[in-house]
């Protein structure tokens, strides 16, 4: 049984249909990549799952029971954590302060020791390459900042983690670091939804690819059974494009 299942999710903004009849299943220990062109509805779907927007119609099932997500608090209580593209980190604060921002451990006063211990536990689970939890976030690399944002999402022990463009604007080494983090999340048995434009990243870590086109489902593929050209064709809605023609030409030359 999928840990998260969407059926017939529809969302409109005035006369604009952002999503129409979206179906999606995410199982525990599975990475599902959601891909699509700009305006395909990816961001709207993320905001519905994270409680920023409420769906107009459709059903969300979580761990076998019907769920209603109207606010971010609803998503948090269910066990859905979202790491948005901007990461929402405070650069003037250190790693501990960012991890526990708004969720500080306190009795009569802040329990700095307990927060530092918990911070190291989370980072070790992700095999994070961060020299010190007392380091200001402003001095961290893009990949290390993504690590902090992902670690913060794990504080409440979620069942599903949503990553919005986790490798955008990262270099090769930092991208590899983030992809390793995604694999560790899957190894921990979490369901992972990854929004991405990068087909190489999708092929590297995803188990399944769901394509959105103009706010509708346009195919769901097992990564091991589909080519990059087929995914791009589903995204663009065309099988006759420069990418597929180049691939076919190279294949003929090899033969």
pLDDT at 240: 52
The residues spanned by each domain of the chain are: 4-88+157-238
Task: With a cut of 50, list the residues of the chain below it in pLDDT.
Answer: none
pLDDT at 59: 96
pLDDT at 72: 93
Q: What is the dotted CATH code of the domain comprising 4-88+157-238?
A: 3.40.50.300
Query: Alpha carbon 237 to chain centroid distance?
Result: 24
pLDDT at 48: 95
- The Cα 127–Cα 154 span in angstroms is 14
Residue at token pair 């700009």? 38
pLDDT at 78: 93
Looking at the DSSP assignment, which residues form a beta bridge with residue 110?
106
pLDDT at 253: 74
pTM of the model: 0.86
pLDDT at 168: 84
36-66 pLDDT tens trace: 998 899 999 999 999 999 999 999 999 989 9
Closest CA to 34 of 168, 175, 211, 247: 211
pLDDT at 191: 95
């Amino acid at each position: 049984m999928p840990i998260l299942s969407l059926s017939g999710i529809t969302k409109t903004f005035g006369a604009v249909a952002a999503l129409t009849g979206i179906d999606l299943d995410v199982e525990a220990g599975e990475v599902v990549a959601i891909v699509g062109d700009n305006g395909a509805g990816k961001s709207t779907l993320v905001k519905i799952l994270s409680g920023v927007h409420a769906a107009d119609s459709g059903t969300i099932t979580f761990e076998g029971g019907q769920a209603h997500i109207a606010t971010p608090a609803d998503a948090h209580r269910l066990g859905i954590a979202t790491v948005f593209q901007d990461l929402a980190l405070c650069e003037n604060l250190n790693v501990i302060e960012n991890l526990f921002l708004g969720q500080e451990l306190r009795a009569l006063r802040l329990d700095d020791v307990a927060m530092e211990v918990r911070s190291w536990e989370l980072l070790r689970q992700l095999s994070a390459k961060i020299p010190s939890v007392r380091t200001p976030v402003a001095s961290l690399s893009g990949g290390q900042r993504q690590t902090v944002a992902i670690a913060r999402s794990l504080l409440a022990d979620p069942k599903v983690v949503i990553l919005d463009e986790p490798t955008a604007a990262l270099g090769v080494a930092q991208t590899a670091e983030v992809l390793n983090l995604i694999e560790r999340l899957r190894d921990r048995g979490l369901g992972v939804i990854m929004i991405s434009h990068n087909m190489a990243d999708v092929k590297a870590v995803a188990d399944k690819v769901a394509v959105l086109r103009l706010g509708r489902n346009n195919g769901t593929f097992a990564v091991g059974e589909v080519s990059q050209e087929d995914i791009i064709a589903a995204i663009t809605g065309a099988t006759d494009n420069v990418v597929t023609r180049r691939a076919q030409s190279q294949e003929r030359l090899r033969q």
